[in-house]
Every structure is written in structure tokens, then in C-alpha cells.
Amino acid sequence: MKTLFKNLLMLAMIMMPLVSSSQEECQPINTLPYFNDFENEPHYSIGGTSRYDAFPVCWIRINDGTSSIYYPYISNEDDNVINGNKSMVFYNYSSYALNEYALLPPVDSNVYNSISDLHLSFYAKSSRLSAPFPMFIVGVMEQYTDTSSFAPVDTVYLTNTATLFSVSFANYSGTGKYIAIRCPRVPSSFSALLDDVYLTDQWCEPPANLTATASHNELSLSWEANGGTSFAIVLNNNTVAGITDTFYTFSGLTENTVYQYAVAAVCNGETSPWLRGTIRTECHPLAYDDLPYTEDFEAYSYGYHVWDISPCWHKGDSRPTVNYPYPANCVVAGDTVGLSMGSSNAAYEWATLQRVDNSLDVSNLELDFARERHRRERPHTPCRPPDVERHVTRRIAHHIDARSV
């Protein structure tokens, strides 16, 4: 009998989707707006929280697979994060679940009687660069233990760019209280990321077509109102509210620095979801006092297809899928890192130096650099790959400076 019971239990586990929840500690959603950016939820860590336990404590996970049933989970790994330090990651592979679900806490029917009055927004992106793109099917479930009660409301298709999506439940006429995000398997492996989940009954459209441009000390933002009557902006931790224009410029910024910005609309006293982005300020243009300017690449990490040198420089390659030039660990002129370029397969490669200020006449400048050629017949060279020619830019000097390489 024990064996029969065990077999029946196993059969029941296979037949029923695996449900994970900690509902006894949780209240239903009884105050809107509801927001979860997952920053305060347990995340997976090696030797710490398991993937299975890395899940919002008041949400419900449903995974109908029989292996890797810990998807989706909360991750803080760089490739799995959209905003902040944590996001929810769905992942699928041919033998994994047919469907992975993340259910919000149930909406309190005593406070919000009709789901059809609500609006959900979230950020999402996929790891895939080409079709088939994964999708999130947003719907409502009557029973969190029964996936056949899932009623789809809208489908959003993910791309490799983090995008703010919104879903209206206006066409939902059922009685379910569990808002669910379902991620079905597609014919190729993928990860799908979810962040900044926002549920409201007072929807305000976010601004549209947000653009950001940065000089070395200014950031200019512009957007379309999209129904908003005023706007709020966050730059890192500084908030500016009550903006009635559809543009704003921050000045006095630090050059060559990554800034995080966000813009939200305000309509009838309600704030929209935040449109978020990051941008790096440029380097200041080289002026007379910056000369002589030297770049020996010694401060940067090296490696094939790595471009971790100063962002004041830019580069290009005639081959769209190849990423030359790159910093290589070659000894030239007594140091250890140089810029490797000159693959025989490329029609051209280029590297541009930090921009020169308009106050300088470029025809008065002189560019010096040390260069050394490494070829295949010199296998002892530490350069990678060994058959590339390498040039090292050593010094740019104003014409009054002596050549000194």
C-alpha cells in the first residue's frame, strides 16, 4: 500500500503543475497602486538562497515542467537584471516547462470588486536577438491551483531591448482575482526578464518617445506628453517635479560617467510608470591645456573582442560581426598593452581619439605613435590572435611639443 500511495502521489505531482507559495503570511492586494521592483525580495545566490526559494514571498510560482522547476526566480546576476539590482528571470529550454507562471498576490475583492478597472505595467526583455521571441501572456486566474482557469487578456512580445509594457483589463469579465504572467515555451531556448510590476486603478499614460542626449557636462531629455499635464524626472537620486515643458536639461555633470534617469507623467494627481534609461556623458573635448595628450592603454584590460579602453575613444570594423580593433597584451615601446588592428580579412578598421575642441586647429597638431607588426610566423608573440598587425598610439602632441616616443 505504501508503494501504491507513493506512486499515486508521484502521479499526482506529475499531473498537477507545481505550485510554490507562502500565502499564509501574505495579505491580498488591498491598496493600489501596487508596485514590486523585486529589490527587497530574496534572490538566488551561490551557497545561499536556492533558485527555488528565490521568489517574491507573496507571489505564486507555477511551473508545469518536471525538471528545473525553479523558474521563474529572482536574480541579481548582471545579465538577468533590467532595473536596479534584481529582476525576475524566466528561462526555457526544450525539455523544460511548457509554461511558467508568476502570479501576483490576489486582488482583495472587498476593496477592488472589478479586475476590469485595473491596469498593469511592467518592464520586460528577452535574451534572444532573433525570432522566435518569447512572450508574456497576461491573464487572470480564478484558482491558483488550476491553470485551466487562466483567462488570457493580452500578449506582449519581448525583444532584446528593455521595454515598458502596459495591459488593460477592461475586457476581462470573469471573477478571478489572481493576475498572472504566463511565459510559454518557444522553439528555442531563451531567458525572459520581468521587472517594475505596477498595478493601478488610476492609470496615467507614461510620456512617449523619450530621448536623451549627453555632452561632457549636460544631459538633455525630451519627450511627448501623451496625456500628461506635468512631469517628474529623476537623475540618479535627484528628483525634479512639476515640470510643465516636455524637455529638461541637467548641467554641471561629470564627464565620462554613467547616469540613470527616469521620467514620469502626472495626470489628475496620479503618477505614471517611470520611463527609465542610462547614458554615459562624453569626455570633455581636448583643449590647449590638455596637450600633450597621451594614451598608452596600460590602464585598460585587454583581450580579443574586448573594448574596455577609455570611452573617449571610438572604433569601427568593416565586418559587422567582428569587433576589431581591441586592446592586446603585446609589448611595444616598453609597455604591455597596445591596440591591435589590421586583420587581413577586414576592408578597414578605425579608431578615433578623444574629440578635439573647436578652439584648436587640428592642422597644428601632431600625432605620434609606436607601431610593431606581429605575424603568424612569430608564434612566440603573446598577441592574440597571433596573425594580426598591431599599432600602438603613444602620444598626440601639440606642435610645440617635441616628438618623444
Q: Which is nearer to Ca ion, 84 or 386 (CB)?
A: 84
| Subset of residues 116 to 155 that bind Ca ion, contact rule: CB under 5 A | none
CB 30, min distance to Ca ion, A: 23
Note the maximum CA span of the chain: 96
| Rounded-to-integer distance, Cα 76 and Cα 299, Å | 28
Segment interacting with Ca ion (CB under 5 A) among 36-44, 215-223, 266-274, 285-293: 36-44
Task: Show Cβ contacts of residue 2 under 8 Å, excluding neighbours closer than 6 positions.
Answer: none
Q: Which is nearer to Ca ion, 141 or 193 (CB)?
A: 193
CB 121, min distance to Ca ion, A: 14
Q: Is 41 in the site for Ca ion (CB under 5 A)?
A: no
| Subset of residues 66 to 95 that bind Ca ion, contact rule: CB under 5 A | 83-84, 86
CB 37, min distance to Ca ion, A: 4
Under a CB-based contact definition with an 8 Å cutoff, are residues 74 and 90 in contact? no
Under a CB-based contact definition with an 8 Å cutoff, are residues 140 and 106 in contact? no
Q: Which is nearer to Ca ion, 81 or 337 (CB)?
A: 81
Residue showing the smallest CB distance to Ca ion in the complex: 84
Q: Which is nearer to Ca ion, 81 or 97 (CB)?
A: 81
Under a CB-based contact definition with an 8 Å cutoff, are residues 181 and 134 in contact? no
Q: Which is nearer to Ca ion, 74 or 153 (CB)?
A: 74
CB 401, min distance to Ca ion, A: 50
Question: In a 10 Å sphere around its CB, with 0-12 CB exposed, 13-18 middle and 19+ buried, how is residue 340 labelled?
Answer: buried
Q: Is 195 in the site for Ca ion (CB under 5 A)?
A: yes
Q: Which is nearer to Ca ion, 191 or 381 (CB)?
A: 191
CB 71, min distance to Ca ion, A: 18
CB 84, min distance to Ca ion, A: 3
CB 271, min distance to Ca ion, A: 18
Segment interacting with Ca ion (CB under 5 A) among 98-106, 160-168, 190-198, 372-380: 190-198
Segment interacting with Ca ion (CB under 5 A) among 31-39, 149-157, 258-266, 390-398: 31-39
Under a CB-based contact definition with an 8 Å cutoff, are residues 99 and 185 in contact? yes
Number of residues that bind Ca ion (CB under 5 A): 6
Under a CB-based contact definition with an 8 Å cutoff, are residues 399 and 364 in contact? yes
Segment interacting with Ca ion (CB under 5 A) among 33-41, 213-221, 256-264, 375-383: 33-41
Q: Is 37 in the site for Ca ion (CB under 5 A)?
A: yes
Note every long-range contact of 339-345, with CB atoms under 8 Å and residues 24 or more positions apart, other chains counting: 339/297, 339/309, 339/390, 339/391, 339/392, 339/393, 340/383, 340/388, 340/390, 341/388, 341/389, 341/390, 341/391, 342/388, 342/389, 342/390, 342/391, 343/387, 343/388, 344/387, 345/319
Q: Which is nearer to Ca ion, 96 or 274 (CB)?
A: 274
Segment interacting with Ca ion (CB under 5 A) among 71-79, 136-144, 193-201, 296-304: 193-201
Q: Give strand pairing partners of 121.
A: 166, 198
Q: Which is nearer to Ca ion, 234 or 283 (CB)?
A: 234
Segment interacting with Ca ion (CB under 5 A) among 37-45, 106-114, 172-180, 290-298: 37-45
Q: Is 99 in the site for Ca ion (CB under 5 A)?
A: no
| Rounded-to-integer distance, Cα 126 and Cα 383, Å | 35
CB 87, min distance to Ca ion, A: 5
Amino acid residing at 120: L
CB 182, min distance to Ca ion, A: 21
CB 198, min distance to Ca ion, A: 12
| Rounded-to-integer distance, Cα 203 and Cα 244, Å | 19
Query: Any alpha helices (H) in 138-221, and if so which ranges?
Result: none
Q: Is 28 in the site for Ca ion (CB under 5 A)?
A: no
| Rounded-to-integer distance, Cα 327 and Cα 32, Å | 52
DSSP 104: P
Q: Using alpha carbons only, what angle is made at residue 34 by residues 32 and 36, rounded to the nearest 5 degrees?
A: 170
Give residues in contact with Ca ion (CB under 5 A): 37-38, 83-84, 86, 195
